[in-house]
Amino acid sequence: MNKLLVLFLLVTLCSASESTVNRPHIVFILADDLGWNDVGFHGSGQIPTPNIDALAYSGLIMNNYYVTPVCTPSRSALMTGKYPIHNGMQHAVLFGGEARGLPLAEKLLPEYLKELGYTNRIVGKWHLGWYTKEYTPTYRGFDSHLGYWTGHQDYFDHTAVEGANWGLDMRRNMEVAYDLHGSYSTDVFAKEAVNVINSHNSSTPLFLYLAHAAVHSGNPYNPLPAPDETVEKFDYITDYKRQRFAAIMSKLDDSVGTVVNALAERNMLENSVIIFSTDNGGAEAGFNLNHASNYPLKGGKNTLWEGGVRGAGLLWSPLIKQPQRVARQFMHISDWLPTLLSIAGGNVSQLENIDGVDQWQSLSEDLASTRTAILHNIDDTYGNAALTVGTWKLVKGTTDNGAWDNWYGPSGRDYDYNATLVIDSVTGQALKSINISLTPEMIEVLRNFSTISCSNSNIRDVTCKPVEASCLFNITEDPCEMNNLADELVL
């Protein structure tokens, strides 16, 4: 009897080990308020982003990838697989004193992954609720958290200013991390991500959610916080504020290289899936202004124009069957939950009441996307909404009476692009160590394919006034939303 029990336990343990050992490590790097034109792979040469670009060129550049207009709704969609209108987070962002959060009834991505044997770590920004402890990360599926709960912070003193309120927000799990005062947030989070990777038992799967503060603006007294020595590298940028933004962006790019290199050194890279994404468009104007660039797209953060919802994003993994291309698949940030569960070997068919679509096979094998429509948002408070179905995008209403319904830029299109920086970057060398190589010729081709150009760049549509009437665009032919077709196509 004892021998049978021992045999049963051995079989059970072996089965459990086999069920987790082949599941890939998942690293999701979420940038904050990053513009379409702030990464090199979309055509800008002003701010080198060699580490991010190296992942993009060796994986998939997501050219039809959509997020929501602001932080909290996008993060809620990522974590639940639902449109924000279906999880109650569709309007605006969470502020420090708000007694609300992502509803506790929602099952989140790390909770699904935990059922598949994953260890879940969050580093950086949460922004989905904190007014009771049950809303915080370690009560919602994450095993640890180093970072902050609210929407932004100063990168050096780690405080957040919201109107008349000002407080420290940097934590290790539930405890305030006073000792990190003075350390630059991007470096703090990169170092913690490396610690997570180095301390992880690589025979079991890891989900690392690295949600950076960068490139969100800081507090009013220091809106574009960056180390002076990094700012000095960009003295060729004459716009002082854009220069400081470039320094913040450069530190973000460095952190990506740091994380990829750590995975390579632990021999985890070959069994990893890495996503890099923004949470919304860059804040070229309006609140949280950080001097990002969404050129040539219209609008920016907190708008439903392409500059607010078309996200800079990439997917990298040796598991992709058709890599090194510009992916045209139609994808929404809510799709990551079922897609990542599919990659991890979960049973996606058991997911109920979600809006996200499993895109793994479509992306990996370059097949047509099963998604044909995206609800960009319905905000009943602002009174605006946008929907894309196939090639057609409908926009109804606007934000702040249309104050940000403009085109901005260009920023960075007059600078040469250095492909050698990409190849020789920390990420480029880490990829080379697992026999993934890039060439200048390949980089040039992919970069050209992923760069949006609008033929009539000097023509601006004056007939689109979404406060008065809905506007309609053929978003495939007119990604810059310059030609309102609503009157022409009324039946």
Q: Which of 25, 42, 71, 86 is catalytic?
A: 71
Q: Residue 44 is encoded by which pair of tokens?
A: 């800008």
Kind and range of the H or E run holding 163: none
Residue 104 to residue 39: CA distance in whole angstroms: 36
Class of residue 321 by CB neighbours under 10 A (exposed 0-12, middle 13-18, buried 19+): exposed
Residue 188 to residue 235: CA distance in whole angstroms: 25
Torsions phi, psi for 28 (to 5 deg) = -110, 110
Taking the CA atoms of residue 340, residue 346, residue 352 and residue 357 in that order, the dihedral angle to the nearest 10 degrees is 40
The answer to whether 104 touches 121, Cβ cutoff 8 Å, is: no
In the block, residue with structure tokens 């989070």: 189
Q: Which of 25, 42, 86, 127 is catalytic?
A: 127
The answer to whether 158 touches 169, Cβ cutoff 8 Å, is: yes
In sequence order, what DSSP letters do the residues of 60-121 get, joined into one string?
A: EEETTEE--SSHHHHHHHHHHSS-GGGTT--SS---TT-S--S-TTSPPHHHHHHTTT-EEE
3-class DSSP state for residue 219? strand
The answer to whether 333 touches 281, Cβ cutoff 8 Å, is: no
127 has catalytic annotation: yes
According to DSSP, residue 180 is labeled G
- Would you put residue 25 in left (φ > 0), alpha (ψ -120 to 50) or beta? beta
- CA nearest to 47, candidates 279, 223, 211, 239: 239
> What are the helix and strand counts (H, E) for the chain?
13, 18
Residue 343 to residue 320: CA distance in whole angstroms: 10
Residue 241 to residue 431: CA distance in whole angstroms: 34
Q: Residue 470 is encoded by which pair of tokens?
A: 């809905």
- CA nearest to 142, candidates 187, 84, 79: 79
The answer to whether 146 touches 187, Cβ cutoff 8 Å, is: no
Q: Using omega within 30 degrees of 0 as the cis cutoff, is the peptide bond preceding 410 cis? A: yes
The answer to whether 302 touches 404, Cβ cutoff 8 Å, is: yes
Q: What residues are annotated to the active site? A: 71, 127
